[in-house]
Amino acid sequence: MHLRELLVHLAIAAVCDASSRYVKLPVVHSINRKVFGDVWDKRAMTTVPLANRSDVAYYAKLDIGTPPQQVYLQLDTGSFELWVNPECARLQDSSDVWFCQAAGYYNVTSSSTATTLAGNKTLQYGVGSASIQYVQDDIGLSDTDTSLKGVQFGVALDTVDEWSGILGIGYGENVNTPYKNFIDQLADQGVTDTKAFSLALGSKAEEEGIVIFGGIDTGKFTGTLQTLPVIPAEDLPDQVPRYWVNMSSLSLTPPSGNTKVYQNTTMAVFLDSGTTLTLLPTDLANTIAADFGAEAADSHGVYSVDCSRKDLPGTLDFGFEGVTIRVPCKELVRELQTVSPPQCFLGISPNDDYALLGDTMLRSAYVVFDQTNNAIHLAQYVNCNKNEMEITDQTNMSSITGDCDAPDFNTANTTSGTSPTTTATTDGGNGGAAETDASNASAAPLIRSSSHTWLGYWTALLFVTIWVGAFA
């Protein structure tokens, strides 16, 4: 290609890229020391019971007000309102103050574009609550040229067990809120063409991922995106529109390779990035935990497992129509090294009220949340490169295939980043592995934990179960 032709192609590419209607934000895990510094060294010293802590989560950064005030907000697909802290001094525990200060806060009186609105509200969460005053201000998406004008959100007047703000990205105007929420504003102000966004949390080792509002990255998954309809609100447990889909199966592929299929696992599940643990019916959770060598859950609903389990190959396989998401054992087992000897936990908790797929599962999935079409588009997360594209109202999501090859799940230390971590199957949910019915056979025995002390006390240094209840 001649130089002139090359320059023309580059110019066209630049124009096309500039006209693309999508915007991306890094999603950072709260244990990422590059962002949150030594907060976790300090938090490890706290003596407050931690079973209900909600600061172990994934955060995105926004620039709020004029001049911009940088705030990290918990990215939550389980709620639909945005709120921020006005300051940190009123928090009771010093470790909470440290985290609040690291995440940032917003002072309405310091912004020349802020308007205080009439009305306030109490947002109730499964863990904690926030009483808020509504305001309106400009919001920039950090490290981009994108700015939203006159966005309505809440400023906390009081909080319980909540010490950082939340960016709720569920259904908004005329569905769950009487005003345009963050996702609505992105579409309404022309930043995105549709009310759809893709989420790749990244592996545990990566400690960060990406959310693309109005776009996808085919360098972050393998296989073809499979479309699942969102279950209508009238068929949901609380009849509140959220990202519920049908799961068809759940199985375990241990190091032996002999897949164990769990019984009675066809159920509705809720995809919630604001929850760290994956919540499953008690009998099912107990059975899975036993296959990981755990005994009964403690009083906080947490299972202790032997730390050597995180170094073994094997996957827990979540089956949906057309795709199976295989979650490596190392993504399900979390090690806490701030106690001696180190303690490890299983990222699953028993719950008979609803089934919820939290971060311990979603880290292994590439998910497109599509409000425009009331659908979830799902594939296996793999991070092999970057290849972003816009989602338009003409995009056929079910025809989009990821760029990444499938890794070898028999290698325990396969990592994501520049190389793939996981694979997808599109054969209905079994990944080609030999199957064994759980009713008459068991998976190969896994290593049984020999230590359970200190478990409940330190639980939420690593996990949060933040189910968003019905809003007032």
- Selecting among 63, 76, 306, 317, the annotated active-site residue is 76
The predicted model gives 275-297 an average pLDDT of 94
pLDDT of residue 422 exceeding 60, the answer is no
Alpha-carbon span 229 to 322, nearest angstrom: 12
Task: Return the DSSP state at 173.
Answer: B
**Which stretch of 172-186, 396-410, 427-441 has the lowest confidence by average pLDDT?**
427-441
pLDDT digits (tens, 9 = 90+) for 166-222: 999 999 999 999 999 999 999 999 999 999 999 999 998 898 999 999 999 999 999
**Within the chain, how many helices (H) and strands (E) appear?**
9, 29
Pairing of strands 259-261, 435-437: parallel
The answer to whether residues 72 and 103 touch, using CB atoms and an 8 Å cutoff, is yes
Which residue has 């001094």 as its token pair?
Answer: 89
76 assigned to active site: yes
Which residue has 């009713």 as its token pair?
Answer: 439
Tally of CB atoms within 10 A around 96: 22
The residue type at 218: T
Cβ neighbors of 468 (< 8 A, separation 6 or more) are 76, 78, 79, 125, 126, 168, 242, 272, 274
Alpha-carbon span 393 to 342, nearest angstrom: 50
β-sheet bridge partners, residue 367? 199, 378
Name the burial class of residue 2, with classes exposed (0-12), middle (13-18) and buried (19+) by CB atoms within 10 angstroms of its CB: exposed
**pLDDT range class, residue 36, cuts 50, 70, 90:** low
Q: CA nearest 325: which of 397, 245, 422?
A: 422
**pLDDT range class, residue 466, cuts 50, 70, 90:** very low
Cβ neighbors of 3 (< 8 A, separation 6 or more) are none
Which structural domains are found in the chain, ordered by start? 23-191 (2.40.70.10), 217-461 (2.40.70.10)
The answer to whether residues 137 and 108 touch, using CB atoms and an 8 Å cutoff, is yes
pLDDT at 150: 98
Per the structure block, which two tokens stand in for 10? Answer: 């580059």
pLDDT digits (tens, 9 = 90+) for 75-134: 999 999 999 998 887 776 676 787 788 889 999 999 999 999 998 899 988 777 889 999
Q: Which residue has the higher pLDDT, 420 or 104?
A: 104
272 assigned to active site: yes
Segment of 260-269, 299-308, 420-429 carrying the highest mean pLDDT: 260-269
The answer to whether residues 80 and 172 touch, using CB atoms and an 8 Å cutoff, is yes
β-sheet bridge partners, residue 29? 58
Percent over 90 (pLDDT), the chain:
59
**Exposure class string for 52-79: b at 16+ Cβ within 10 A, else e:** bbbbbbbbbbbbbbeebbebbbbbbbbb
- Selecting among 55, 137, 193, 272, the annotated active-site residue is 272
- Alpha-carbon distances of 305 from 57, 160, 174, 185, 457, rounded to whole Å: 22, 31, 45, 44, 15
Q: What is the DSSP secondary-structure string of 175-199?
A: TTBSS--HHHHHHHTTS-SSSEEEE
pLDDT at 441: 41
Full-model pTM: 0.84
pLDDT at 359: 94
β-sheet bridge partners, residue 245? 269
Percent over 70 (pLDDT), the chain:
76
Per the structure block, which two tokens stand in for 116? Answer: 């205080």
The answer to whether residues 338 and 461 touch, using CB atoms and an 8 Å cutoff, is yes
The answer to whether residues 57 and 465 touch, using CB atoms and an 8 Å cutoff, is no
Q: CA nearest 150: which of 136, 161, 160?
A: 136
pLDDT at 361: 97
Q: What is the gyration radius of the CA atoms in the chain, in angstroms?
A: 22
- Please, where are the H alpha helices in 189-235? none
pLDDT of residue 431 exceeding 50, the answer is no
